[in-house]
Amino acid sequence: MTWTRTPQARLSLARERGRVRVCLGKAGECWFAHYLSCEQIKRSMTKGERISQFVAELTGGDVGPDEKDVVNHPFYRAFFRCWNEQRYYEAHDVLEQLWLKSKSRDANYFKGLIQAAGAFVHLQKRFEHPSHAKHGRRLPPAVRLFRLAEKNLSSFTPRHHGLDVAALCELLRAYADQIVASDYKTNPWSPKTAPKLKVM
C-alpha cells in the first residue's frame, strides 16, 4: 500500500483522529493503530471496584464495602438477592468484598455464606452441563464446600444478622447427605427447586 501523504501529514492526521502512532522496525517505517488516545484510555477497575459497580446497579445507588450496619449493608443484601436469583457466583463475589474487610467474628460467618454459594455454583454447573468433562465432576467439591460452610456457620446459630442460620445449616447438610447417599451420582439441585434465603 502506497501512502500519498508525507510522514508529517500522516502524523498530524493521526493526532487529529485520536490515534496512537506506533513506530516499529527500521527508521521511517510507521503504522497507525486504531486505538483510543491516551486521554481516552481508562485504567482497569479492580475487582472491588467492579463489585461495587455491580452492587450499585442492583441497588440503584452508590455503594462501598465500608458501611458498618451489616443487616442493611448493600453488599450483604446483594448477596441474598443474587442467591435468590440463582446467581451464586455473583453472590460469592459480592460477599467476598465484606469478608475481605471483616476483622471481627463475622469473618467466619461471611466465609461460610461464601462457601455455601460456592457449593451451589458447583451444583448449578453440574446441572447445566452433566456430561462435561469438568462440570460432570463437581459433586465431590460441592459436598466439601457444604461441609466447610456448615462448620463455619454453625457457631452463629440459631440466627445471625437477620438470617436463620440453623435452617441454612440444615439445608446444607441435607444437600451434602443426598449427594453422598447417591454415591456422588445424583445432583439434588435444579432451578425449579433451588433454595431461597430470607433476611429478616
pTM for the structure as a whole: 0.70
Q: Which domains does the chain have, with CATH numbers?
A: 1-42 (no CATH), 47-181 (1.10.3450.10)
pLDDT at 74: 85
What stretches in the chain show pLDDT beneath 70? Answer: 1-68
- Report the C-alpha gap between 183 and 190 in whole angstroms: 18
What are phi and psi for residue 194, nearest 5 degrees? -60, 135
Report residue 86 CA to chain centroid gap.
13
pLDDT at 5: 61
- Report the C-alpha gap between 53 and 43 in whole angstroms: 15
Burial 132-153 (b: 16+ CB within 10 A, else e): eeeeeebbeebbebbbbbbebb
